[in-house]
Amino acid sequence: MAKSSKSKQKKGQKAPVKTRGTLLTIALVVMVLHGLAAAIFYAVARQDALSTAYMSRPWLIALMSLHFLLNVVAAVGIWFWKKWAMYVYAASTILAVVVGLLSVGIWSVFYMVLPFVIIGWLLRTKWDYFK
């Protein structure tokens, strides 16, 4: 009985007005553009002689391409307030940190985690908007 009255209360309540804000909008657009550009770069890097760090381990290029494509999917999901998108973005960041540690070293951790921290900070008050 209590369960049905609780669900009726939720149905009767108005949904919160979801405001993305300028900073979050800019961050999501940059995520999409950066993700697409980087995925293309890593796909082309297979033939590039400058990417000697990745040539010894070509599977790193595939993992980084996957990372950037997952970032694009996550950015689109966050745009539409989908909770799964935050989990995809977290998993993508973990993948990037592991690949960065294997290829570049400890300095890559700062570069890979910083965007995740920025998006988390921008969304800190908006977690309830996600479904």
The answer to the question of residue 11 being in a domain is no
The answer to the question of residue 6 being in a domain is no
Give the pLDDT band of residue 112 (cuts 50, 70, 90).
Answer: confident
Long-range contacts of 53-61 (CB under 8 A, 24+ apart): 53/103, 53/104, 54/103, 57/102, 57/103, 60/99, 60/102, 60/103
The answer to the question of residue 3 being in a domain is no
**51-105 tens-digit pLDDT:** 555 556 677 778 888 888 899 999 999 889 898 998 998 898 888 888 888 777 7
Residue type (1 letter), 20: R
pTM: 0.71
The answer to the question of residue 12 being in a domain is no
Q: How many domains does the chain have?
A: 1
Query: pLDDT value at position 8?
Result: 46
The answer to the question of residue 14 being in a domain is no
Distance CA 116, CA 113 (A): 5
* Secondary structure (3-state) at 118: helix
Query: pLDDT value at position 20?
Result: 78
The answer to the question of residue 103 being in a domain is yes
The answer to the question of residue 9 being in a domain is no
Residues in the chain: 131
**80-95 tens-digit pLDDT:** 989 899 899 889 888 8
The answer to the question of residue 4 being in a domain is no
Residue-number span of the structural domain to which 109 is assigned: 20-129
